[in-house]
Chains A and B, each alone.
Chain A
């Protein structure tokens, strides 16, 4: 009679990890199976049982705890960023058309969705088997992979957005809201196409781990469990893995490196030109205020690329390694079971993408000064309004415009300085007139033909053309 509570050690394989666990077989259901009709076991009772959970394993509990912290951090952080962005857009009407904030919103939503399957992962780890059904399995895989593909695409679009803001500030059409949403829609469609094999084939698969026959009692005991598996065929698995690696990891990484590199090169050039312009005209103190913080931007950009690389490279290396194992599995007739250290290492490697999704809001949201500039901008405007518009105050708040004011000093009376500043302020909020655009282009051509003269007759439009509001918005 004690056979109903036997214990056995099984080597469990769930596609990505190997695990050795002890199971106690218990009674679950009794049914007459037609599979044995006509055989010796025709009159036997078939008993199914689910395995015992492996929550006594403290290491697995630690891993589950870590995943739980990751889930809390990711969901709360992304939700908080969404709340802050919504708050900022409510306060400052100008920020409603900011494409950077739009990308941050979509990124937070996608990362939030990619956090939702973590509870299922935790229960799967604690119990050791999948206790939900096929629909939950498909949903689980969909949410899990969206974070890996669509989120990466958004990061690339984000880098393109910044590249255009710095290198092509006058091409306004590239960075308006409609283009952004069209771009996001296309990327989402590509993501769905890439994930369609997963959605089609993912299901909750029953695995019979152990079967015992009791001749005296005429009972067959089966210990079975369910696993959420992709169950792609061999060739389809290879194809899926390879194009996922190329399209969702390799190309995005190269694109990010290229666009951020171009952006930094451009910013360095601008910073050098501005420094040369200011050498013979201003003291050192004011020179620092006008310099673009290229170092700060460079560190920020390197942090973004390095973080992405660190989180995704080990994951994809492990995927390719399992692909290699899949391809050359026949040649290794006697594969030894993996050690516990290897299993836990794989757990850590597969947690890295979740760490990336849980932390994206820090790099792209929390450290982004645009979310903090909104209140400060209001305060600055309040300061300007509260005091008289003295020349010194104007210089402190808008250093680059004092340069414009100083240029036409001989053509008008002293009052015209303030009116010139107001004129440029109007240009900030409205699109440039066509004549202004043509004159800017003409000045650009003249600048390329003749080197920048180091004289007092520096054309203000050249400086204005470089330090545009779009460029300012990228200075984090």
Chain B
């Protein structure tokens, strides 16, 4: 090789940071688009060695006897690590925060839900709100999605994939769970809330069997939709340079790996289409529909009973917040994916603007942000986790009140034995049962409104 050619090749080394980031941004692009990107920055002409024909030596060097011009010994190395750019550092910090908040928050909610369910079982209360099962399943899905963040973080820090094909498949499947299963569960929760408010007498649609069946069915659909990713994802080797020492049979091969879906064109388009329609469009329509119906029903109820205790404004704010967070986290992501696909279909080159690439990178952070904060919307702010305990406390206080009702007579009889040291304590005790009795009588006005009131109350979040 001539020195001029080597000089030109070496001078192209500084830019690799940008296409590496660019590649990780468009994980869903096909091979032709990859070629479009890499062609501008790397010389593929030198990639003349067919690595599959080589034998690996004990010391890691490959021996390729069939190479043109005689046998050669090839050493595979990785490129040197680049220092973190400020923009990459910002993205990494956000990734780490999403990971910690998502993992710890979801595990905390799962622990509390497990405690609540056990507490409910001890009290022999089989008839209760089963929406808590949806919340538990959602926390599990978001937890799994958060697990795909550490490889993404290291991919950004190091600049290439270092974990192999198996971890590549796991990373892609975990990362895609949030796009399908998590979205399905959010939609199912909207349906559950809608039925609770608009059709409170349809108990079968909110039974434990129905909820568990729905979760199992949605999980199966999500798994089927993710099968192409599980099948085709692999760590692809990209050769950056091949350097041949002067007058020697030794070749140093600088290469990296990238974790890519590697789907063929038709399967990739089918996968993206089904994921976009079933994982984004349909859930969005259903969420908006169910929540609008719910809000209309509550307003109608408010008009009929102006003094109703249902906090309509709070329910409306909460419902709108759910739909808005879903829209904000997923719409920019899907728009960027569709933009990349359309560009690749039309054969036009993608933008090389550094700021546009950074913006696209931030857009791809949004699903992880939504995944790591779902437990706040559906778990922490959900008053059902506390209301269950409040209802339990009320029940226990009623029972205690019934017990206290027997105390005045015993206290009176105790006065005969003692010098009346506790006479001042029995007077407040006498007042409490009457107040409790009054509230109990108020609650028992009519059976019909009681049923509606209780079912609606459980949806107040």
Give bound CA distance, A413 to B415, whole Å.
12
Q: A51-B81, A386-B399, A412-B417 are in contact. Are A83 and B111 (CB under 8 A)?
A: yes
Q: Is A318 an interface residue (CB 8 A)?
A: no
Q: Which one of A24, A75, A379 contacts B78 once the chains associate, using CB atoms below 8 Å?
A: A24
Give bound CA distance, A95 to B107, whole Å.
23
CB-nearest residue of chain A to B81: A50
Given the complex, which residues of A lie within 8 Å of B104, measured CB to CB? 75-76, 79, 112
Q: Is A339 an interface residue (CB 8 A)?
A: no
Q: Are A419 and B81 in contact (CB under 8 A)?
A: no
Give bound CA distance, A91 to B82, whole Å.
52
Q: Are A91 and B396 in contact (CB under 8 A)?
A: no
Give bound CA distance, A50 to B17, whole Å.
14
Residue contacts A-B, CB under 8 angstroms, 13 given: A1-B3, A49-B80, A50-B83, A52-B77, A76-B103, A79-B107, A80-B108, A80-B111, A116-B100, A119-B150, A126-B158, A413-B416, A416-B414
- What is the CB-to-nearest-CB distance from A4 to chain B, in angstroms, rounded to a whole number? 7
Q: Which one of A1, A27, A53 contacts B7 once the chains associate, using CB atoms below 8 Å?
A: A1
CB-nearest residue of chain A to B106: A76
Given the complex, which residues of B lie within 8 Å of A76, measured CB to CB? 103-104, 107
Q: A2-B252, A416-B413 are in contact. Are A26 and B407 (CB under 8 A)?
A: no
Q: Which one of B78, B150, B393 contacts A52 once the chains associate, using CB atoms below 8 Å?
A: B78
Given the complex, which residues of B lie within 8 Å of A280, measured CB to CB? none
Q: Which one of B14, B79, B162, B403 contacts A384 once the chains associate, using CB atoms below 8 Å?
A: B403
Q: Are B417 and A126 in contact (CB under 8 A)?
A: no
Q: Determine chain A's interface SS by DSSP, over half rule.
A: helix
- What is the CB-to-nearest-CB distance from A415 to chain B, in angstroms, rounded to a whole number? 5
Q: Which one of A52, A132, A413 contacts B81 once the chains associate, using CB atoms below 8 Å?
A: A52
Q: Is A341 an interface residue (CB 8 A)?
A: no
CB-nearest residue of chain A to B84: A131
- On chain B, the number of residues with a Cβ less than 8 Å from chain A's Cβ atoms is 64
Q: Is B254 an interface residue (CB 8 A)?
A: yes
Beta-carbon contacts of A91-120 to B below 8 Å, as 1s and 0s? Answer: 100000000000000000000100010010
Q: Which one of A27, A375, A381, A415 contacts B115 once the chains associate, using CB atoms below 8 Å?
A: A375
Q: A5-B241, A83-B112, A119-B96 are in contact. List 7 more A-B contacts (CB 8 A).
A: A50-B80, A52-B77, A52-B79, A79-B104, A131-B83, A382-B395, A419-B410
Beta-carbon contacts of B61-92 to A below 8 Å, as 1s and 0s? Answer: 00000000000000101111111100000000
CB-nearest residue of chain A to B248: A2
Give bound CA distance, A82 to B402, whole Å.
35
Q: Are A28 and B80 in contact (CB under 8 A)?
A: yes
- What is the CB-to-nearest-CB distance from A270 to chain B, in angstroms, rounded to a whole number? 30
Given the complex, which residues of A lie within 8 Å of B399, measured CB to CB? 381-382, 385-386
Q: Which one of B80, B84, B109, B111 contacts A26 once the chains associate, using CB atoms below 8 Å?
A: B80
- What is the CB-to-nearest-CB distance from B376 to chain A, in angstroms, rounded to a whole number? 13
Q: Is B94 an interface residue (CB 8 A)?
A: no
* For the complex of A and B, 7 pairs with smallest distance between CB atoms: A26-B80, A385-B399, A83-B108, A79-B104, A419-B414, A76-B107, A80-B111
Q: Are A26 and B79 in contact (CB under 8 A)?
A: yes
CB-nearest residue of chain A to B158: A53
Q: A83-B111, A416-B414 are in contact. Are A1 and B77 (CB under 8 A)?
A: no
Q: A2-B252, A52-B80 are in contact. Are A126 and B154 (CB under 8 A)?
A: yes
- What is the CB-to-nearest-CB distance from B77 to chain A, in angstroms, rounded to a whole number? 5
Q: Are B389 and A90 in contact (CB under 8 A)?
A: yes
Given the complex, which residues of A lie within 8 Å of B252, measured CB to CB? 2, 5
- What is the CB-to-nearest-CB distance from B87 to chain A, in angstroms, rounded to a whole number? 16
Q: Is A331 an interface residue (CB 8 A)?
A: no
Q: Which residues of A in the span 1-51 have a Cβ within 8 Å of any Cβ on B?
A: 1-2, 4-5, 7, 24-28, 49-51
Q: Is A127 an interface residue (CB 8 A)?
A: yes
Q: Which residues of A in the span 385-430 have a Cβ within 8 Å of any Cβ on B?
A: 385-386, 389, 411-413, 415-416, 418-419, 422-423, 426
Q: Which residues of A in the span 58-103 have a Cβ within 8 Å of any Cβ on B?
A: 68, 72, 75-77, 79-80, 82-84, 87, 90-91
Residues of B within 8 A of A (CB): 3, 6-7, 10, 13-14, 75, 77-84, 96, 100, 103-105, 107-112, 115, 118-119, 122-123, 150, 153-154, 157-158, 162, 241, 243-246, 252, 254, 386, 389, 392-393, 395-396, 399-400, 402-403, 406-407, 410-411, 413-414, 416-417, 422, 425
Given the complex, which residues of B lie within 8 Å of A90, measured CB to CB? 386, 389
Q: Is A432 an interface residue (CB 8 A)?
A: no
Give bound CA distance, A50 to B83, whole Å.
8
Q: Are A426 and B243 in contact (CB under 8 A)?
A: no
Give bound CA distance, A84 to B105, whole Å.
12
Given the complex, which residues of A lie within 8 Å of B111, measured CB to CB? 80, 83-84
CB-nearest residue of chain B to A411: B417
Q: Are B157 and A123 in contact (CB under 8 A)?
A: yes
Give bound CA distance, A53 to B402, whole Å.
72
Given the complex, which residues of B lie within 8 Å of A116, measured CB to CB? 100
- What is the CB-to-nearest-CB distance from B239 to chain A, in angstroms, rounded to a whole number? 14
Q: Is A289 an interface residue (CB 8 A)?
A: no
Given the complex, which residues of B lie within 8 Å of A50, measured CB to CB? 80-83
Q: Is A234 an interface residue (CB 8 A)?
A: no
Q: Are A415 and B112 in contact (CB under 8 A)?
A: no
Q: Which one of A1, A72, A80, A382 contacts B396 once the chains associate, using CB atoms below 8 Å?
A: A382
Beta-carbon contacts of A363-393 to B below 8 Å, as 1s and 0s? Answer: 0000000000001101101101110010000
Given the complex, which residues of B lie within 8 Å of A84, measured CB to CB? 111-112, 115
Given the complex, which residues of B lie within 8 Å of A75, measured CB to CB? 100, 103-104
Q: Is A212 an interface residue (CB 8 A)?
A: no
Given the complex, which residues of B lie within 8 Å of A2, measured CB to CB? 243-246, 252
Q: Are A415 and B410 in contact (CB under 8 A)?
A: yes
Given the complex, which residues of B lie within 8 Å of A77, measured CB to CB? 107
CB-nearest residue of chain A to B396: A382
Q: Is A55 an interface residue (CB 8 A)?
A: yes
Given the complex, which residues of B lie within 8 Å of A412, measured CB to CB? 417
Give bound CA distance, A262 to B109, whole Å.
39
Give bound CA distance, A91 to B396, whole Å.
12
CB-nearest residue of chain A to B254: A5
Q: Are B417 and A419 in contact (CB under 8 A)?
A: yes
Given the complex, which residues of A lie within 8 Å of B395, measured CB to CB? 382
- What is the CB-to-nearest-CB distance from A339 to chain B, in angstroms, rounded to a whole number? 19
Given the complex, which residues of B lie within 8 Å of A7, measured CB to CB? 75, 77
Given the complex, which residues of B lie within 8 Å of A52, measured CB to CB? 77-81
Given the complex, which residues of B lie within 8 Å of A79, measured CB to CB? 104-105, 107-108
**Residue among B103, B112, B414 having the largest count of chain A Cβ atoms under 10 Å:** B414
CB-nearest residue of chain B to A420: B414
